[in-house]
Structure 1
Amino acid sequence: MKTISSIVLTTLAIPGALNAQDPRGVPGDSILTGTVYNVFHSEYATDQEFFHAVDRDIPAIAAAHLKDVMIFPMSQWDPATRQLRWTRTDYLVRKIEENHLKFVPLLLKEEQCGSYFPIWKFRELGLWSASDVDNGNPNNRENVDFADPRVYPLVEDYIRQVVGRYGHSPALDFYNVWNEPHYSSTAPHVVERFRGWLLKKYGSLGALNRSWGDDYDDWRDVSPFLNDDWDSSMPQTDWTLFRNELDGELLGRLTALVRSLDPVHPVNANPVGTPFATFGGFGGYNTDNWQFTPYDDFNGASYYPDAWARDHGLNRAPQWFHDLSFDVFRCAAEPKDYILTELYTNAKSGLTLGGYLDADTAREIAWTALANDCKGILWWKWQPFMRGRQSLGRGLTRLDGSLAPRGQAVRDFASVIEQHGRLLRAARLERPQAAIVVDMAGLLKVLQQQGEPRTQTFMYRDIAGVFRALDGANIPVDILRADLGLRPEELRRYKVLILPFQVVMRRETARELEDYVRAGGCVIADARTATLDELDFAYAKNPGGGLDGLFAAERSDWIALPKTFGVHVNAPGVWAGDFDGVDFRENLRVGPEASVEGVFDDDRSPALVRHRFGRGTAWLSAVPLGAGAFEKGARSAADLIVALCRSAGVTPPADYVSASPQIPMIRVHDRGDERVVYVVNAGGEALSGDLRLAYLPGTGPVAVVDLLTGRVLADRSEGAGIRVPLALPAEGVAVLHLKRR
């Protein structure tokens, strides 16, 4: 028998193969549905026991209307021969083929490295003494550095064997190349790579020293660990930016290998959630979602909202948290599609309180994902864990293999997809009219305030508060990354750009914002925006980068205290009312060409300034607008945020009018002249009212069908607008298809 390293596999010769550079998206023309078949082979004493489980489970997966099975692990090691053993996977793949399903090989899962790195390799590669230590980590094998030049050939050999063995199967759908990608090594080969990254960014040691506030005279001495943040935050910022980019580049190396072996089947990776919703620092599982898009064929994500429950008194994640998470996934993926490569199915273990998944929540999350333009879901996992750290956790089934209530909800969802998946796949979210602009350098600067946890998450909270305000009014929002470059033609798509607590402002971004407003756009900025440049130098005059002219106002001083600052607004034709800014308050000197539209309650000094600039408008708030949504007792600025956007011409694609203050989440998708409208009532109160759309192309009566029930709804349209009476139970969902008869 050949050893792994001696096996040579050639590129798959498949008729009609696409060029590896051709764009490939989510396979098929329907919404992708599936589950993960995660097997710890030690559960089964014999192959026959495993075969029996497969014979039960694979037909049951097909009966639940799911179409894809993600397999992990793809093989076993035989300690006696030190060879990979494929008996069980061969049987599993054959049963998938027989049941007319598709499968997804999971190729690399960093923590569970035993698939490519058997335990005897520690000694063979000289890693035993460094790894065989008590470091308090119950999963110490996750510390294997797969990019170590000594280890990476094993990864390559393993991938070659999997692709070579299963790449020809008619049931193969796509490859999950790197599951939950994140890379934490600080080994010398990583530091050396960092030096090359710095040389490319700065060009010379002189420029590096100027940015870092250091005195290096040799590139070989440059280190991310000899920082002096009294002089500059840039060493820490650059190290984090580099590590974020390295995650993507390592994925690129893996996908290049897979594409060289199989240029036909798409590749996918799935970072875990997003720090923009969990408010976490970057590192470990907290990765920059945008960094993976250049390297895969469609984006993925692992979505485990039970993490919210563990951090918030075991309470269920709110609707805005789901919407914000999916919004980040969508925006990071553009122009590609995204799927939930993993969606959670229950609490983490049988001994975990937070994260219990009932049927209503399982249904709501799935439809909320599709409402936010997700094009596929794989539920992790089919059966519960039967041993290990997550014993009795997760799973769509009970221990006997029958569907749990959450599994029944998934089955019902997949049944609708079986009927209407092509329509839902083709329909796309209407292009948002508003965008939030974020600069990663500024976010990292705020996250570095480690002595003050409240301050550390402040930008996240301000961004999320702005998003919550617009989400609550059913105004979709894009998230744009200034640090990745903004294009004028991109900005022109939006009626309003919002800068929540954007402390870093690049001069080129400032020029683009000026041009945008001059041409008729609207910019809304709040406290601390544009105080630093991207190299950590403060602007003597701020808003900096030249934006003092855009806003016709200058900050003279500021107050930072953990308290609220009352503001009264009287902006004729826009909004009148009161709200509380939190923690930060700025003193503004307002130029004669600007108007003061809001004042502080205590001294009537300027708190909100409007400047008509060219054909557009710039608004500057002296307090944060979004963060107050997270403070108990604070009067939220949500109504003001919505009113400012509406004054710029932003309108929700649809409204729900009822006597209740509770508003369902609504998303409108287009397919030509047709509309698909998702309505999710995540509240505990039943609703009865009218769904109203401003416009539907064409003339004549409108046919309205709820795709979930098949029920035909009445059309009470008047003029160009569409009005559909719609009642929703508590935790209810409707997906309406509208087209002219």
Structure 2
Amino acid sequence: MKPTLADATRGRILFGGDYNPEQWPEETWRDDVRLMRDAGVNSVTLGVFSWAKLEPRPGEREFGWLDRLMDLMHDSGIGVVLATPTASPPPWLGRLHPDTLPVDQDGRTEWWGGRQHFSHSSATYRRYAAAITEDLAARYATHPALTMWHINNEYCTYDWSDQAAARFRGWLQRRYGTLDALNTAWGTAFWSQGYGDWEEIHTPRHAHYLKNPTQVLDFKRFTSDMLLECYLAERDIVRRHTPHLPVTTNFMPLWAGQDAWRWVEEEDVVSVDLYPDPRDPLGAQHGALVQDMTRSQARGPWMLMEQAAGPVNWRGVNHPKPPGLNRLWSLQAVARGADAVCYFQWRQSRQGAEKFHSGMVGHAGEQGRTYQEIKRLGAELARIADEVTDSHSDNDIAVLHDWHSWWAGAHEGRLSTEVDYAQVLTAWHRALWEAHLTTDFAHPEHDLTGYKLVVVPQLYALTDTAIDNLLAYVRQGGTLVSGFLTGVADEDDRVRPGGMDARLRELFGIRTLHEWWPLEAGESVECDGFRGTLWSEEIEKTDDARTEAAYKGGDLDGLPAVLRTGRAWYLSTLPEPPELRGLLRRIGAEAGVRPVLDGLPPQVEAVRRGESLFVLNHGREPVTAKVPGTHRDLLTGTTVTDELTLGRYGVAVLRP
């Protein structure tokens, strides 16, 4: 049995973050430990960007400083998540081995001086990465401070170099077998693109006009797979030395570059970095979406690897978190399944590109508001850990999401650049979140039988297996609601006859999909009871289908905007947020789905985790919410009966 997050948490909520002590004189370390203990920190991540410190020259090793740190952490009762430092190679590697540097699609080399400057396809990079990983694992495998391995950091590099092209050709040969099969899949009869020799195939570099969409799609698949190969090579090394310890790497939220459904099958712990904008009125909803997706990938507890205690440094204007918001968003993550709440980083840097990115200890030091709030949060997480860790709740709704469909739908020659997959997905999740309906995420080929409602915001490309899965789900009594541009293409980005798979057209009651009518930015269409945005469609329905809402006026007057046959619903436009929320609430109620709590104020979120009920006020004003029955608030120890008052950014964790 592979190790899990529970093997690292040991009944606690892990609390801490990236610690980069090499940026500070050694006399600072003991003061850091004092502050960590005062704040309840029980876990730090070491070594994420330490390659140049560990290997200052090729083949040399300087582990003494890390030895002292590991011992210091153990003596202080703080566990270590030890990272392989391979996300940021030292300058000497790029100077001596230029083949380790990635190349962009215009042929420009990405040089050292930043981070993530490595070619995932470089055999030289992989050899040096394996060597430093091997030596780290051998040295610290038995160290009592070590609790988990963290491989690399935020895998996010693309590479269009010659060596990437060579690996791409090998990847394509394994996928297709023959050039005839590749030419068929890529549709190379168009624009005289037929390939007669594997050596003619390159990465999809800068072109005079539009690139072949399926070539680009396969390149995205290839990139995800190459990065995964890099991860697996390092994972297998540390696993060989420490088979009892869990291994993770941190995802970026809803990033397009990795097929995370594929990656999570190779992780012991699923972890994510999450940085909502404190000025975004929907920041909490963005957090909820990422947390729901990560919990669903983990199929249980997960790790919040990075968040900011205050401002970040990469937005045009970087605002701090107002008092209470860091606590609120951290407890929101715990409510949605996190058993680890961690930060980038422990102490705010004084130099370098991220010196204005906040830390748990900011430039104001231990008297600063940020650190004082961190201390309060650490105490509260310790207070509730026994009641919530390693628990979860089942949800009745699944939102379907697939990276391959996202990649296929983003091709250059699409009908509307206004339609952005991530924004459509967010809009549908927002509607469910604002309706107080908690959700899981699932792949379209996953087992859906446990859900009362399955929501498909948009899945442009679907495999036959996925389509059969959706049909079987409805036949078995499930309720399915789908947005526009779903089932248009197959896995090779080949448009299906009729503009939508025939089985789906029959399911939704569409006799003919005559034309797609994309809308301009800011344009809308009038429908019965709402306005539609982004998109509209010229649909002729079947006799047994029911028009739930029709277009009003214009070229589509009287045609169905929302169509229903039995338990299957199809939306050919995107209703504005209040109307989409109301429609999904209605469909959910018919399917037997109910909110965790009824009658909640708009800015209040209720999430059940195991036997604990988290009630969170995302508003700036105090609110009162109905919570029928008598409960104990784990955060305060007080008794709550029938009604709960929460202050600005207030949180309660209730148990019967």
**Superposed pair shares fold, TM > 0.5:** yes
Aligned with 1:329 (options 265, 283, 294): 294
Change (3 A) 1:235 1:26: farther
Query: Does the 8 A contact of 1:501 with 1:624 survive in 2?
Result: no
Query: Does the 8 A contact of 2:18 with 2:44 survive in 1?
Result: yes
SS at match of 1:179: coil
Deviation at 1:506, TM superposition (A): 2.7
Q: Deviations over 1:705-726 (max 9, x none)?
A: 1111111122xxxxxxxxx211
Measure, in 1, the Cα distance between the counterparts of 2:173 and 2:250. 30
Query: Does the 8 A contact of 1:580 with 1:637 survive in 2?
Result: no
Aligned with 1:36 (options 18, 28, 44): 18
The AA in structure 2 aligned to 1:291 is R
Aligned with 2:459 (options 502, 507, 510): 502
Deviation at 1:548, TM superposition (A): 1.9
Aligned with 2:519 (options 547, 556, 561): 561
Tell me the equivalent position of 1:734.
652
SS at match of 2:46: strand
Measure, in 2, the Cα distance between the counterparts of 1:324 and 1:80. 44
Aligned with 1:305 (options 273, 276, 279): 276
SS at match of 1:558: strand
Aligned alpha-carbon RMSD (Å): 3.0
Query: Does the 8 A contact of 1:496 with 1:521 survive in 2?
Result: yes
Measure, in 1, the Cα distance between the counterparts of 2:145 and 2:536. 60
SS at match of 1:565: strand
Query: Does the 8 A contact of 2:100 with 2:122 survive in 1?
Result: no
Measure, in 2, the Cα distance between the counterparts of 1:365 and 1:434. 23
The AA in structure 2 aligned to 1:222 is I
Tell me the equivalent position of 2:191.
none
Measure, in 1, the Cα distance between the counterparts of 2:56 and 2:178. 52
Deviation at 1:408, TM superposition (A): 2.1
Aligned with 1:376 (options 328, 340, 352): 340
Tell me the equivalent position of 2:563.
609
Query: Does the 8 A contact of 2:488 with 2:501 survive in 1?
Result: yes
Query: Does the 8 A contact of 1:146 with 1:155 survive in 2?
Result: no
Tell me the equivalent position of 1:677.
613
SS at match of 1:293: helix
Measure, in 1, the Cα distance between the counterparts of 2:304 and 2:238. 21
Deviation at 1:315, TM superposition (A): 4.2
Greater CA radius of gyration, 1 or 2? Answer: 1
Query: Does the 8 A contact of 2:46 with 2:83 survive in 1?
Result: yes
Query: Does the 8 A contact of 2:312 with 2:357 survive in 1?
Result: yes
Change (3 A) 1:418 1:521: same
Deviation at 1:64, TM superposition (A): 0.7
Measure, in 2, the Cα distance between the counterparts of 1:654 and 1:228. 56
Tell me the equivalent position of 1:347.
311
Measure, in 1, the Cα distance between the counterparts of 2:343 and 2:614. 21
Tell me the equivalent position of 2:396.
433
Query: Does the 8 A contact of 1:163 with 1:258 survive in 2?
Result: yes
The AA in structure 2 aligned to 1:157 is A
Aligned pair 1:144/2:124, yes or no? no
Fraction of identical pairs, as percent? 20
Q: Deviations over 1:388-443 (max 9, x none)?
A: 11224321123364153222222222212223212210331x21211122343332
Deviation at 1:505, TM superposition (A): 3.1
Measure, in 1, the Cα distance between the counterparts of 2:423 and 2:96. 49
Aligned with 1:68 (options 43, 50, 53): 43
Tell me the equivalent position of 2:636.
709
Query: Does the 8 A contact of 2:309 with 2:321 survive in 1?
Result: yes
Deviation at 1:232, TM superposition (A): 4.8
SS at match of 2:450: coil
Measure, in 1, the Cα distance between the counterparts of 2:64 and 2:510. 72
Tell me the equivalent position of 1:530.
487
Measure, in 2, the Cα distance between the counterparts of 1:264 and 1:139. 36
The AA in structure 2 aligned to 1:113 is P
Aligned with 2:89 (options 104, 113, 126): 113
Query: Does the 8 A contact of 1:446 with 1:455 survive in 2?
Result: no
Unpaired stretches in structure 1, ≥5 consecutive residues: 1-18, 45-49, 276-281, 569-577, 630-634, 693-701, 715-723
Tell me the equivalent position of 2:607.
667
Tell me the equivalent position of 2:249.
269
Measure, in 2, the Cα distance between the counterparts of 1:237 and 1:260. 34
Query: Does the 8 A contact of 2:101 with 2:109 survive in 1?
Result: no
Equivalent residue runs for 1:475-490 within 5 Å:
475-482=437-444, 485-486=445-446, 490=447
Query: Does the 8 A contact of 2:419 with 2:534 survive in 1?
Result: no
Change (3 A) 1:609 1:153: closer
Measure, in 2, the Cα distance between the counterparts of 1:338 and 1:384. 25
Change (3 A) 1:355 1:255: farther
Change (3 A) 1:352 1:443: closer
SS at match of 1:294: helix
Change (3 A) 1:245 1:79: closer
Measure, in 2, the Cα distance between the counterparts of 1:441 and 1:350. 28
Deviation at 1:599, TM superposition (A): 1.6
SS at match of 1:705: strand
Deviation at 1:155, TM superposition (A): 1.8
Change (3 A) 1:396 1:207: same
Query: Does the 8 A contact of 1:491 with 1:516 survive in 2?
Result: yes
Change (3 A) 1:434 1:318: same
SS at match of 2:533: strand
Tell me the equivalent position of 1:98.
75
Deviation at 1:703, TM superposition (A): 5.2
Aligned with 2:590 (options 619, 641, 647): 647
Q: Deviations over 1:516-570 (max 9, x none)?
A: 21221111123222222222222232531412221222322232222211211xx
Structure 1 length-normalised TM: 0.80
Tell me the equivalent position of 2:64.
87
Query: Does the 8 A contact of 1:290 with 1:333 survive in 2?
Result: no
Tell me the equivalent position of 1:233.
213
Measure, in 2, the Cα distance between the counterparts of 1:141 and 1:351. 18
Measure, in 1, the Cα distance between the counterparts of 2:68 and 2:535. 62
SS at match of 1:151: helix
Deviation at 1:463, TM superposition (A): 1.6
Measure, in 1, the Cα distance between the counterparts of 2:109 and 2:291. 36
Deviation at 1:349, TM superposition (A): 4.6
Measure, in 2, the Cα distance between the counterparts of 1:37 and 1:434. 38
Structure 2 length-normalised TM: 0.90
The AA in structure 2 aligned to 1:607 is A
Q: Deviations over 1:615-650 (max 9, x none)?
A: xx111223234xx33xxxxx6422112211211111
Change (3 A) 1:107 1:87: same
Q: After the TM superposition, which of the residue ranges 165-174 and 191-200 deviates more from structure 2?
A: 191-200
The AA in structure 2 aligned to 1:320 is Q
Deviation at 1:78, TM superposition (A): 7.8
Aligned pair 1:465/2:427, yes or no? yes
Aligned pair 1:595/2:595, yes or no? no
Measure, in 1, the Cα distance between the counterparts of 2:115 and 2:332. 37
Change (3 A) 1:79 1:210: closer
Q: Deviations over 1:462-481 (max 9, x none)?
A: 22111111111221112222
Aligned pair 1:393/2:357, yes or no? yes
Change (3 A) 1:560 1:61: same
Deviation at 1:257, TM superposition (A): 0.9
Change (3 A) 1:142 1:370: closer
Query: Does the 8 A contact of 1:524 with 1:618 survive in 2?
Result: yes
SS at match of 1:359: coil
